[in-house]
Amino acid sequence: MNSKLKEKLHKRQVRDGTMESLTSSLSEEKRERLCGLLGNVELTLLYKASVHGYQASAFHQRCDRQGPTLLVAYNPSGYIFGGYTSVDYAQSGQNVTDEDTFLFSIQGKIPVCIKINSGHKARYDDAGGPNFGQQLYFCYSNQPVVYHQGGNAFSLNAATMYGNDTQMIECEVYKVEQSSQVSTEEKPWRNVLWTTERRAELMEMIRSHKPLMTSVSRVRILMIGPVGAGKSSFFNSINSIFMGRITSKAISGSAGTSLTTQFRTYPVKDGRGGKPLPFVLCDTMGLEEQSGTALDIEDISSILQGHVPDRYKFNPTAPFQPEEQKMSRPASLQEKIHCVAYVIDATKISLMSDKLQEKLASIRRKVNSLGIAQIVLMTKVDEACPLVEKDLQSLYVSSYIKSKVQEVSSRLGVPVSCVLPVKNYSQELELELNCDVLLLTALQQMLNFADDYLDDVCPMEDKPK
């Protein structure tokens, strides 16, 4: 906490006569992580259950009509969890609509954010203890407990959120105010030009790109990632930009198992009836935890080396077997993969299982052995961070997204500079400048990385003069 914020908090505590008792249980590091979800804010402690009591009346006496608030609960298992609402508590007896509401859980250093599902009420504003979506109740029945009633307002897993430990050792509520101490124009941790000129420049750079090798007419980029991470959606999004409208050529969605069952190579044209652009996006089945399901390491190895034909349908119980005739000769450089893009859902990074992480590590080892360039697309950044959902241009001033980029880097063993946050088109009906800039920046970087690979493997005489 900076010195001015400490001074402000000190004055308020002295004024309220609570200097001795109202001490926040949040460490400075975790406070900063939570503020990263909310943007440039100050947190002022209003209510502390161990001091004021777990009764609903005590909560309302301290927290009613205070504006946006953040509830933070602590349990004996070491979980720190709670929720945010931007609408006042007022004991109105009404259901509250609040699209900004979210739940969170801090496991270790990184918070998991669970946004309210579309079309659901954020909470019921009565005289009882705080609740979220009439699904998760804090200080239930005036006791130091959490009660999970079930429901659909939040996609909530009790084991993930609070370890199924319903006892609370503390419950705090903070008033959330926009900070007056820090400029709203914080220094971004990456520089991006969010302009129509930059979008046009990126599109022209991609159109005019010429692979480093004369024998390679189009760069082949392989997208690999867990089921539902957004591989097919990335192709659809890139295709939409160059078509000038939202398209849905590749099958995409949110099914529990992979919607892509074939190996597909997707060329992209420069507008309807236009020339093919100098890259091909290759899509595969989504990765799953269990061995013997979906794509296996042998299949990926065959794809990387250019042996798998377009529209080949994978057999989850048996790896791809190249034809003997094709195996007798190495694939040409044109047929091989020149860049691998791992596609990772930003909302599920902290939930990635050890099995899935090990599968990704095995793939990375294989890709490394072939010297192929690698990059990570971190999708669904708007779903991961409420600040970014409000304004995509907040992406590179969000400390929460920065922490997720660092976590992806650590889990996959890639440099931070190789992790690129993007937002695919999913429910939009029109193209949007900020989405386009992020997507095109990522694609341009893939083309650059593919050139690095070609530069490494190609003899000098094959390169254009």
Kindly tell me if the per-residue pLDDT of 17 is higher than 50: no
**Residue, of 64 and 357, whose pLDDT is higher:** 64
Instruction: Write down the pLDDT at residue 269.
Output: 93
**Residue, of 217 and 253, whose pLDDT is higher:** 217
Kindly tell me if the per-residue pLDDT of 3 is higher than 70: no
Mean pLDDT of the residues in the chain: 84
- Phi and psi at residue 351, in whole multiples of 5°? -100, 0
Whole-angstrom CA distances from 35 to 27, 188, 202 are 12, 16, 33
Asked if 116 and 154 touch (Cβ cutoff 8 Å), the reply is yes
Kindly tell me if the per-residue pLDDT of 109 is higher than 70: no
Kindly tell me if the per-residue pLDDT of 260 is higher than 70: no
Q: Beta 419-421 vs 102-107: how paired, if at all?
A: unpaired
**Residue, of 34 and 251, whose pLDDT is higher:** 34
Instruction: Write down the pLDDT at residue 107.
Output: 75
Instruction: Write down the pLDDT at residue 451.
Output: 93
- The stretch 417-427 carries a mean pLDDT of 93
- The stretch 108-137 carries a mean pLDDT of 89
- The stretch 315-334 carries a mean pLDDT of 60
Kindly tell me if the per-residue pLDDT of 215 is higher than 50: yes
Q: Which amino acid, residue 16?
A: D
Kindly tell me if the per-residue pLDDT of 249 is higher than 80: no
Q: What is the DSSP string of 390-446?
A: H-GGGGGG-HHHHHHHHHHHHHHT--GGGEEE----SS-SS--HHHHHHHHHHHHHH
Kindly tell me if the per-residue pLDDT of 247 is higher than 60: yes
Report CA dihedral (51, 49, 109, 20) to the nearest 10 degrees. Answer: -10
- The stretch 158-176 carries a mean pLDDT of 94
Asked if 194 and 393 touch (Cβ cutoff 8 Å), the reply is yes
Kindly tell me if the per-residue pLDDT of 142 is higher than 50: yes
| pLDDT band, very low/low/confident/very high, at 452 (cuts 50, 70, 90) | very high
Kindly tell me if the per-residue pLDDT of 182 is higher than 50: no
| pLDDT band, very low/low/confident/very high, at 462 (cuts 50, 70, 90) | low
Query: If residue 324 lies in a helix (H) or strand (E), which one and from where to where?
Result: helix 324-327
- The stretch 378-390 carries a mean pLDDT of 90
Instruction: Write down the pLDDT at residue 32.
Output: 81
- The stretch 239-259 carries a mean pLDDT of 70
- The stretch 427-431 carries a mean pLDDT of 90
Strands, E assignment, 50-189: 69-74, 80-85, 94-96, 102-107, 110-115, 123-125, 131-132, 136-138, 146-148, 170-178
- The stretch 330-336 carries a mean pLDDT of 84
Asked if 340 and 222 touch (Cβ cutoff 8 Å), the reply is yes
Query: In the chain, what percentage of residues exceed pLDDT 70?
Result: 83
Kindly tell me if the per-residue pLDDT of 376 is higher than 60: yes
Instruction: Write down the pLDDT at residue 250.
Output: 60
Residue carrying structure tokens 């236009």: 274
Kindly tell me if the per-residue pLDDT of 101 is higher than 90: yes
